[in-house]
Structure 1
Amino acid sequence: MKLTVVHLQQNNVSKESIELVCGMRLEKSIEQMLVGKNETGYIYFTKFGTVCFLGFSRSQIVSILRAIQIENADNYESHIYQDYEIIIDDTLDKNFKVSNNEVRIQKIDDGFLSIIAIVVSQSVGLERFEQLLDENMSKSRKLLNIQGRFLLFKRKNLLKFAVFLANIRQDMIVDLYLLDKPNITWDDEVAESLYNKLSDIFELKDRHTMVEYKLSLIRDNISFMMDAINHQNSEFLEWIIIILIAFEIGMSLFRAS
C-alpha cells in the first residue's frame, strides 16, 4: 500500500468536507489526528496541515482533492508531498522493518499505520518550513541591503519581518511536535521503536535543527541591522542637536553684534 501525504495550502479544509466527499466518518486518533476508513483504504487528516491517503490510487486522490477544492488538484505533486510504501509481510520475524523507501509490517495494525502517517506528515510539514525559510533568507538579504534614505522604510519592514519569523517558530513548536513522541509510544516499546526508526529515516531532528539554525541566522541578521539603524538614528539626532545649538549660538552672536 502506498501512503501519499499532501500538504494543504488552504486552511479552510474541514473535517466535515472530507467526510462528505469520502463517505466516511473521521474519528480522533493519536496527536489530534483524524482517521477515516472505507473499503479503499485509510485517510488521515492531521493538524500539521496535511491529508494522508493510504491505499488510494492517484486518480482517487485527485478526485478527492478536487472535491474539497484544493488548488491544482490534478497536479497535486506541485504541492509539498511525499510518498512512502507500506508493505504487509507476514514472513517477517519481527514486528516491522524500516528502510528509506518502505516500511514492512507483519500485519495491518491501526496504531502502527497512525505512527507512520504522523512521521511522514511531520516530514512534509517540516519541508514547508524549510522552503519558507529558504525563500525568506533571500528576502532578508534584500532588506539588509536597503541603504540611505530608505532607513525608515527599512526599519518598518524589518520589524514586520521579525514578527513573521517569530510566528514561523511558534508554528514549528505548536504544529509539528518534533520534540514530543506520540502518546502511544509511552507505554508501547514496539511503537516507540517504530517511531524512532522512522524519525531517523526522515531525519526529523537533524532537519529541525537546521531549520532552527537558519531561523536564528536570519533573526540575528535582523537584530544586527536594527541595532545599526538605531545607532544611525541616534547619530542623526545628535547632529540635529549640534546644528540647533550652533544655530542658537550664531543667532545670539548676531543679536549681540
Structure 2
Amino acid sequence: MLRSPVEMWRHHHHSTAIHLKTSNTSRFLPSQNVTIKITRTILSLSSDPNHNLILSQSESLQQSVRTIPPSFPVNIQPSIPVRAYFFSTSVDLRSLVDRNRPNFIPLASRMTNYVVLRFGSTKPEAIGSGACISGSDCRYMVVFQYGSIVLFNVGDDEIDGYLKIVERNASGLLHEMRKDEYEVKEIPTLDTWMRGGLDHIMLQYLNIDGIRTIGSVLGQSIALDYYVRQVDGMVGEFTDINRGMEKTGTFTMKRKKLFQLVGKANSNLADVILKLGLFERSDIAWKDAKYAQIWEYLRDEFELTQRFASLDFKLKFVEHNIRFLQEILQNRKSDFLEWVIIILICAEILISVYDIGHKSLMSL
C-alpha cells in the first residue's frame, strides 16, 4: 500500500519537533515606565495526526520597568578643540595686551609669564553681548612669554588670524612651527569632576581657571618638544663627529663652532628650566584641588617629567662630548705652543752660532 508523502515523513521522523519563535518587544527609554508586550508563535510538527496543526499563542506581559541609568553621559556639550603652537622664542606680552586691551582677562594669580585673551562668542545670539559664561561659548587664546600659544574653541579657518595677532608682538620666529592638538568635552552629568580619555579630557564644565590650567601644560609640552628636537640635532652632530674620528683618528671642528654648541646647549637647558617653569606648580593648582587633579593628569598624559629626563640625559651626552673635544683642542693648542717654543729656541741657537762664527772671522 502506497503511503502519502506526509505519512512517509512521519514514519522516519517520529520524534522530530520544529519550533519557530518570534518575539516583538517595544523599545524603552531611560527615565520612563514602559509596557513590554511579548508575542510568541510556535510551530509544532509531530508524528501524531492529532497534533499536525499550527498553534499560535500570544502572551501579554505587562510590568513596570524601573528607570535604568544610561551607560553613557547625557547632555553632552559640543567638544572644544584645543590647539597648541610654538613658532617663536619670545613674545612681548605687554605690547600684546596694549594692542588687545578689550580682550584681555586680568590674571588672578601671581604668574606673569602668560596672558589670556577672549574673543567674541561662537553662539550667534551671544555675539556682541559680551556675556560669555562657559569656556565653550567663546574663543580663548593663552599666550606665553616663551613663545607658546594655546587656542580654545577656534575653528580651522580662524587659526591663522589669531596667530598673526601674536606674530606682531613676537621675536625669534622659527622656520618650522610646532603644533599639537587636544580636545575638551564638557559633560555636566559626569559622575566625577574630570575623566581622561584618548587625546581628550572630560570635565563637568570648563571655566577660565580650567583654560589656564590646561593651557599651561599644553604650552609647556609643545615648547619642550621644540627644545628636545634642538638637542636631538646637537646629539646627531656629535654622533657624526665621533664616527668621523673613528674612521680618521682626528676631527676638523673649529674652536668657534665648538663654543657655539656649548652656548646652545646651555641656553636650551636654561630656557627649559627658567622660561618654561617646568618644575613650577600652577598657582591655580595650588589653590584648588580640582585643578590640581587636571594639572597632574595632563602632566602625566603628556609625560613632561619623562621627556625632561630624556632631554637632560641627552644634554649630559652633549656636555661629555664638548668636554672631550675641548681637551683635544686644548692639547692641540699646547702642542702648537710647544712647537713655537722649540722653533724659537732653535732660531736663538742658530743666531748664537752665527754670531760666534762672525766674531771669530772678525778676530782673524
| TM category, shorter | 0.7 to 0.9
Measured after TM superposition, the shift of residue 250 of structure 1 is 4.5
- Identify the match of residue 117 of structure 2 among 29, 33, 36: 36
Q: 2:265 maps to which residue? A: 165
Q: 1:75 maps to which residue? A: none
Structure 2 counterpart of 1:24, which letter?
Answer: N
Equivalent-residue separation in structure 2 for 1:207 and 1:69 (angstroms): 28
Q: Deviations over 1:29-61 (max 9, x none)?
A: 553221122323221112231121111101111
Measured after TM superposition, the shift of residue 133 of structure 1 is 1.5
Residue 149 of structure 2 is aligned to residue 51 of structure 1: yes
Q: 1:229 maps to which residue? A: 329
Are 1:185 and 1:192, in contact at CA under 8 Å, matched by a contact in 2?
A: yes
SS state at 1:36 partner: strand
- Identify the match of residue 207 of structure 1 among 307, 310, 313: 307
Structure 2 counterpart of 1:167, which letter?
Answer: S
TM-score by length of 2: 0.60
With over 3 angstroms needed to count, the CA separation of the structure-2 counterparts of 1:99 and 1:24, relative to structure 1, is: same
Are 1:97 and 1:103, in contact at CA under 8 Å, matched by a contact in 2?
A: yes
Measured after TM superposition, the shift of residue 201 of structure 1 is 0.5
Structure 1 counterpart of 2:192, which letter?
Answer: K
Are 1:27 and 1:36, in contact at CA under 8 Å, matched by a contact in 2?
A: no
Runs of 4+ in 1 over 3 A off after TM superposition: 10-23, 66-70, 138-151, 246-257
Q: Percent identity?
A: 22
More helix by share: 1
SS state at 2:279 partner: coil
List runs of 5+ in structure 2 lacking aligned partners.
1-79, 122-137, 169-175, 358-364
Equivalent-residue separation in structure 1 for 2:148 and 2:301 (angstroms): 19
TM-score by length of 1: 0.83
Measured after TM superposition, the shift of residue 119 of structure 1 is 0.6
- Identify the match of residue 2 of structure 1 among 44, 56, 81: 81
Measured after TM superposition, the shift of residue 4 of structure 1 is 0.9
Are 1:19 and 1:26, in contact at CA under 8 Å, matched by a contact in 2?
A: no
Q: Deviations over 1:48-106 (max 9, x none)?
A: 31121111101111222245557xxxxxxx62011110000122211101234100001
Q: Larger relative CO (CA 8 A, sep 6+): 1 or 2?
A: 1
SS state at 1:81 partner: strand
Equivalent-residue separation in structure 2 for 1:15 and 1:61 (angstroms): 22
Structure 1 counterpart of 2:341, which letter?
Answer: I
Q: Deviations over 1:126-179 (max 9, x none)?
A: 01101211223334456776999997x711221222122211211111111111
Measured after TM superposition, the shift of residue 17 of structure 1 is 4.7
List runs of 5+ in structure 1 lacking aligned partners.
71-77
- Identify the match of residue 177 of structure 1 among 247, 254, 277: 277
With over 3 angstroms needed to count, the CA separation of the structure-2 counterparts of 1:66 and 1:245, relative to structure 1, is: closer
Equivalent-residue separation in structure 2 for 1:45 and 1:11 (angstroms): 10
Number of residue pairs the alignment of both structures matches: 249
* Correspondences of 1:36-185 after superposition (within 5 Å): 36-37=117-118, 38-39=120-121, 40-66=138-164, 68-69=166-167, 79-141=177-239, 154-185=254-285
More strand by share: 2
Equivalent-residue separation in structure 1 for 2:164 and 2:342 (angstroms): 67
